[in-house]
Each structure stands twice: as structure tokens, then as C-alpha cells.
Structure 1
Amino acid sequence: MSSTWFETVAVAQRRAKKRLPKSVYGALIAGSEKGLTLQDNQTAFGELGFAPHVAGQAAVRDLSTTVMGQDLALPVMISPVGAQAVHPDGEVAVARASAARGTIMGLSSFATKPLEEVIAENPRTLLQIYWCGDKDRLVQRIERARAAGAVGLILTLDWSFSHGRDWGSPSIPERMDLKAMLRFAPEAITHPRWLMGFAKTRRIPDLTVPNMVDPGEPAPTFFGAYGEWMQTPPPSWADVQWLAEQWGGPIMLKGVMRVDDAKRAVDAGITAISVSNHGGNNLDSTPASIRALPAIAEAVGDQIDVVLDGGVRRGSDVVKAVALGARAVMLGRAYLWGLAVNGQAGVENVLDVLRGGIDSAVLGLGRSSVRELSPDDLVIPAGFTRALGTSGKSRP
């Protein structure tokens, strides 16, 4: 068996920690402020139990589902993550891996690989955009996505605040110029496998974001685009509806944690929502996304596709989310650890690990399909669910 193969996401994380420079790894595990939401995203899954059967299980299980009109071989999607400096192939490797395993690729606007290159590897790519710049700039990005063949958009609104971290934010340079290379040289030299990966390509980690402009235009730096986002007034619900109408196709709103917001998303013409707190990187003390999922799925799950993002590390986590009303989960940190360890094959490894865990849990629960899963398959402790935004006092 290959020495790069791993049996669990936890092993992938340990190997990624050894391989990556401290600053790069720190950016992957970071959460805002004290990290309460970051921790709860994972802890909450452990509070849910299973109610298995001992006989009569299906010999073959169907793990497929559908999200935003796209057929998925398993209920796991790639969540968009910007600036994937863990491996020189970055988002292109992730696109190849997700295509090979029959699922959707979410590509960040803050990615370092062009949209067109990613779609060439996985035609079922969703471009994630932030509400950044004026409407003309937003239309420019939408039209680029349309021309490139993106099958949908993800409007991310769960990254709305700038917070420090109690343990310190990882140091990320504005650009990888000579000064930055000298500053980070001690970290790179002490992690030779990561460094050699980039050396073989004769490229240094790229911190420009080409998907924020039209092809051929000079790409801004990550922090240049971040600055534009910070100076852009947040969108209203009318703005969300305008964007959905401009696109005219499948569009996900990422960051919904409240029932009233979920209902407003339906009214605005959104076709899918991600119950998400940006992996604990937004407003700390927000509950785990899995706690908010059941109330949201019950309220709008028959009108809109509901997926979950946050804290997924095992196939059993995926099954718990689907049993509570999600069509699928979006995977973030876990696939980046696989990417760091072994590039495309590492991402495929992570997806295979999750698939095996999903299949085992579905078997144990006596189901023949993930679409048969329900809350009856779980042991849900009293007070687990957080039904946010149900008071009837929705904001205008």
C-alpha cells in the first residue's frame, strides 16, 4: 500500500501538519476569536448517536443524490476555499479529484487558479462569489462564469466580519516577492517536501486571484481583493434577488443559520442554501451548523435544496447531516489536508474515506439509500437543535 495513503481524515490532518509550513497550516485550522464555533462544529456531531438494525440490511446501498440539478455519486460536495497554497496544483487538482469521484466542485473567487482551467477539469463547477465591488463588477464576474460554463453560483454571505484570533492570526504576505520569500524562508526550509513540490514546478505559491477580473486583466492580490470586499456595503435582500435574476440559473446562498433568513432566500429566488457559519471563521459563538440544520430543513426543505457546511470529518458525519434534512454536505478543511499530503490522489483519498464511512453507516441503519435517512435513524439529545430565527420578528 502506498505510504501516502491514509485511512482517516484525522491521519490526513496529522500528515498535513508535518508537511506544511506553520503559517500555511495555521491558516487552515484557524477560527475567529476564541474558536468556540470552530470547536462546536465538530463537537456537535459527536453528540448525535445512531439507532442501528441487526438484520435485514440491504446488500447494496445507493449513496447518490441530487443538488442544484446535478447528480452526485455521494452526498459530498467540494466547498470553495481560496488561496490553496498547500499544493502547487491547487484547485486544478481538486477539480480533477472531484470529477473522478462524481461530485461538484466549488471554486472560490479568491482561488489562485483561473475558472476556465478548473472547469476544463470538472465541468460541474460552481463559482463562488462575494458581494464585492459595484454591480457592474458583479455582472462582469457573472458573465465570465456563464461564458466559462459554470453550472451555478454560490453567493457567500457567511464571511461578513473581520475578527482577530485569541491564539494569533497566521502571517500571510501581501505578495510573494523577494522580501516575503526571505521572511518565510526558515519555515519553508524546515518543510522540504512542501518546498520541493513548488520547486519542481518552478513556481512559488501564488497569492493573486485571477477570478476577480476578466481573463487577461492583471489579477489583484488576495488582500487587494479582500480590501475591495471590506469597502463594499453589505447586500440587502433586494440585492440578493437582483443577483439571482442576473444569473438566471442555479444559485446557492451560503451562510444561512436562521429559519427566517432561509425563507427570505426562497422568496429571493435562491435555489439552494448552505447552512454554514464559514467553518467557525465568521461570528464566534454562533452555534454549530448541524444544530441549526433541522429547523431550517423542516421549514424550507421542500422548496429549496438544503446542504450543510461545517465540521464534517467522517462519513458518519455526512449521514447524520443527511438524516437531519441536508441533501449533501460541503467539505472544506478535510480535502485541503488530503491535497497537502498527496495532491489530486490525496483529495480522492479523502472522498473515498468519506464514501466508505457513509456506506457503513447506511448499512448499519438498515437503509438501502441515503434518500431514506431520517431523524428516526439518530439518537438526538434534548436541547441539541437550535431553531434560530423563529420568533416571527424577521428583519426587513
Structure 2
Amino acid sequence: MPRNPWFETIAEAQRRARKRLPYAVYGALLAGSERGSTVADNVGAFAELGFAPRVAGHHAVRDLRTSVLGMDSALPVLISPTGVQAVHPDGELAVARAAAARGLIMGLSSFASQPVETIVAANPNTAFQIYWSGGRDTIVQRMERARAAGCRALIVTLDWSFSEGRDWGSPAIPDRVDLRTMLRMTPDVLPHPGWLWRFARAGRIPDLTTPNMRRPDGGVPTFFGAYREWRESIPPTWEDIGWLVRQWDGPLLLKGVSRVDDARRAVDAGVTAVSVSNHGGNNLDTTPATIRLLPSIAAAVGDQIEVLLDGGIRRGGDVAKALALGARAVLIGRAYLWGLAANGQAGVENVLDILRGGLDSAVLGLGHATPAALSPDDLVIPDGFTRSPGTAPL
């Protein structure tokens, strides 16, 4: 571990994660699909937007609080649900505790390595993420388990995807960790003794099962077993989404919208919110960066439902830019996973503090008292920056 476990930037958290994690683990976090064009654009597009700061009339006190999906949040930042978090033995539990300590909403993946009951106990403001996987009866069973555990919102993820492969090769992720697997992965793991020591000290090995994907027969699939179930499921229709909204009967976020017409259909289906998302660049490659798609979607439906964004957030300034272009809040994924790899729960809290500081600086410099006051007038937006697929009449 570095002599000083605190880091100043999320880029530094990523450098530490890369140094600490075995290649297969780090590679699973880093890469997007195919050539990686979308994941690169998710990050790079934020740098194309400039700020237009003010020089007087600043507010000495800023209030960064908001509410999302019926829950109060200390920042317009949510923890995006990510699957099996083998970067640290505490996994999702450390993330949930960090989010609770900073007053933020926890998104928990169906593919998590920790059961939903454990996570809600650590952070009551938890939104459970569900895939359209298995039949309706199976989906309802998982949804009702989340409701019984105390989850306050549902995230339906539909942006994970149908593309195949990575040009640089996909990391070798085992179906389960047993003695044979450990022997095979020894050359990759031994150069990273800190990662191995954390698991040894915790008295456990990386858990690749998915307890929240428990089948009606009681079986608990491995990550790839759950993935196969999803791949073999018939994709949902808009009627299915409306049915799920009625079954949940509470705040529901539809994650994965990248078209204006899909956003409008989501409104018709009765969702509470949509997230402009391309699954962090792991959907169809060459899908534009989400920040390019956000303005047209926010303009189309932002007065009817909450519009969120995920993809490419690495700084508090990125959060400010998303809010200025119409997002109510953002979701973060890789950023907190790098913090988790760098320093466990404290590392996640470190990442959240970095985002808070950067957002506060942007709100201050742009002359506002709250993030809600941010607007396109606060930005320098280059010609041709935005993309607006799905704007043709239905």
C-alpha cells in the first residue's frame, strides 16, 4: 500500500488499481466492447465542453443536495450497480457503507457477490438493479425479494448488450474459483501480493456466485451461469416494461436510453426516471458518448420524468457539465471501483469526496448556489457536439 493511502484524483485511484490488481481483474473493469470507441468517447467528450466562469457575485455557501427516485442525496451522484466486485474482499458492502457515510444512494447489481439484505442493512437508500432475465415469474420473485429487503427503488438495466469481443482480447475470468483455477491464475496473481493478501487476511477467496440471481429452485448461479440465463431470455417489449412498472409500483429507473423516441416510450410505460447510458461503453461500440445524447433526451422528456446520465464521469466538473445539460444526477461505476481497489471503503469515500470537491468548485466558479441552477449558459459547447438519434416522428 502507498505510504499515504489518500489520493487527490480519480486518475490516481485508477493508477493504484492498475498496480494492485491482477490483469484479468483490472482488464474486466477497464475495457469496453470491440475497439473501445464508445468508452473512449464517454470520457473524452467531457473535455470538449468548456466552462464559462464568472468573476464576481459568487455564493459563499453552496448547497449540493438533491433528491432522486424519491430519496434524498447529499450529492447529485449515485452509485451505479456493477457486478461481482472482486477488486476487494468486502466488495459491494464496502461501497454501500461508503455511500451511506457520504449520504448517497447505493445501486446494487443483480450480479453482485453480496445479498441484497446485507447491502440494505448497510445503506437503507438502496436501489436494486434487475435485468430482464428468465421468465416473468422469476423476475417477480427477484423483485419481491428486493422489496422485502427494503429497497426503495428499482433499476431496470437494458443497455447490456449484443456486441461481441474486445479487439485487445477479453480477460480470462473463471466461472468459479477453485484449486485448479487458482493454480492456473498463479502467474497473474503472484505479482500483485497486496490484492492476494487482502483476501487471505479476510479468510476468503473471490466469490463469483450471484446470490441475488437465485433461481426459483433455490440454486445460486455463478456469474457466467447468470449471464447465460440472460442471454437465453427473450428480450423484453415495451409492454413488458409497462408490466414491470406496475408490478413494482414505486420509483423505477430505466437504464440504457440513448434515443429520444425510446425516452418518450419510457414515459408512456410509466417509469419514474431514465438514465442516458451505453453501459459504460460495453454496449454496441461506436454508440456516441452519453453526454452528447443527453441534451436532446432531457429536452424531450425532462419535464415529465427524471433524466440521469452515466458514462465517463471522472471529475466533479464532469458532474457539473451533465447537470448543466439537463441531468438531474449522474451515476458512477469505474470511478468508485478504482477507489475500492486502491483502499477499500476509505478509497470509495475518497472518490466521493473528490467528486464533491470538484462539483462544489464548479458551482462556485460559475456563480451559483446550487447545482440545480446550472444551465447550458455555463458551458462553452462546440458546434456539432450533440447527437440526437430517434428524433424522427413516431
**What band does the TM-score fall into relative to the shorter chain?**
over 0.9
> SS in structure 2 opposite 1:262?
helix
Letter in structure 1 aligned against 2:346: A
Whole-Å separation in 1 of the counterparts to 2:143 and 2:73: 24
Write the deviation string for residues 37-78 of structure 1: whole angstroms up to 9, x where unpaired: 010001100000011000110001111111111111111100
> SS in structure 2 opposite 1:282?
coil
Write the deviation string for residues 9-63 of structure 1: whole angstroms up to 9, x where unpaired: 0000000000000100000001000000010001100000011000110001111
Whole-Å separation in 1 of the counterparts to 2:329 and 2:179: 43
**Structure 1 range deviating more: 153-162 or 84-93:** 153-162
Once the two structures are TM-superposed, the CA of residue 216 in structure 1 deviates from its matched residue by: 10
Whole-Å separation in 2 of the counterparts to 1:193 and 1:165: 28
**Counterpart in the other structure of 2:168:** 167
Write the deviation string for residues 163-191 of structure 1: whole angstroms up to 9, x where unpaired: 10000001100110111111111222110
Question: Retained in 2: the 8 A contact 1:119–1:149?
Answer: yes
C-alpha spacing 1:180/1:36, structure 2 compared with 1 (3 Å): same
Letter in structure 2 aligned against 1:10: A
**Counterpart in the other structure of 2:149:** 148
Question: Retained in 2: the 8 A contact 1:73–1:102?
Answer: yes
**Match runs of 1:1-396 below 5 Å:** 3-213=4-214, 217-392=218-393, 394=394
Once the two structures are TM-superposed, the CA of residue 264 in structure 1 deviates from its matched residue by: 0.4
Once the two structures are TM-superposed, the CA of residue 228 in structure 1 deviates from its matched residue by: 0.4
Alpha-carbon RMSD across the aligned residues, in angstroms, is: 1.2
Whole-Å separation in 1 of the counterparts to 2:219 and 2:346: 32
Once the two structures are TM-superposed, the CA of residue 214 in structure 1 deviates from its matched residue by: 6.8
> SS in structure 1 opposite 2:364?
helix
Letter in structure 1 aligned against 2:303: D
Whole-Å separation in 2 of the counterparts to 1:168 and 1:334: 23
Question: Retained in 2: the 8 A contact 1:77–1:105?
Answer: yes
> SS in structure 1 opposite 2:350?
helix
Letter in structure 2 aligned against 1:390: T
Q: How many residue pairs were aligned?
A: 393
Question: Retained in 1: the 8 A contact 2:112–2:210?
Answer: yes
Whole-Å separation in 1 of the counterparts to 2:160 and 2:199: 30
Letter in structure 2 aligned against 1:59: A
Letter in structure 1 aligned against 2:77: V
Whole-Å separation in 1 of the counterparts to 2:217 and 2:53: 56
Letter in structure 1 aligned against 2:370: S
Once the two structures are TM-superposed, the CA of residue 86 in structure 1 deviates from its matched residue by: 0.2
Write the deviation string for residues 123-172 of structure 1: whole angstroms up to 9, x where unpaired: 01011010000000001001101100000110000002141000000110
Whole-Å separation in 2 of the counterparts to 1:162 and 1:59: 49
Letter in structure 2 aligned against 1:237: W
Question: Retained in 2: the 8 A contact 1:338–1:346?
Answer: yes
Between the aligned residues of both structures, percent identity stands at 69
Once the two structures are TM-superposed, the CA of residue 218 in structure 1 deviates from its matched residue by: 3.3
Once the two structures are TM-superposed, the CA of residue 201 in structure 1 deviates from its matched residue by: 1.3
Whole-Å separation in 1 of the counterparts to 2:313 and 2:161: 22
Letter in structure 2 aligned against 1:314: R
Letter in structure 2 aligned against 1:297: A
Question: Retained in 2: the 8 A contact 1:98–1:105?
Answer: yes
Write the deviation string for residues 356-379 of structure 1: whole angstroms up to 9, x where unpaired: 000001110001110101010000
Letter in structure 1 aligned against 2:287: T
Question: Retained in 2: the 8 A contact 1:144–1:214?
Answer: no
> SS in structure 1 opposite 2:264?
helix
Letter in structure 2 aligned against 1:179: R
Write the deviation string for residues 167-226 of structure 1: whole angstroms up to 9, x where unpaired: 000110011011111111122211000000000111100000000117993311000000
Letter in structure 2 aligned against 1:121: A
Question: Retained in 2: the 8 A contact 1:163–1:282?
Answer: no
> SS in structure 2 opposite 1:260?
helix
Letter in structure 2 aligned against 1:316: G
> SS in structure 1 opposite 2:129?
strand
Letter in structure 2 aligned against 1:201: A
In the alignment, structure 2 segments of 5+ residues that lack a partner are none
Question: Retained in 1: the 8 A contact 2:34–2:163?
Answer: no
Letter in structure 1 aligned against 2:257: V
**Structure 1 range deviating more: 2-11 or 338-347:** 2-11
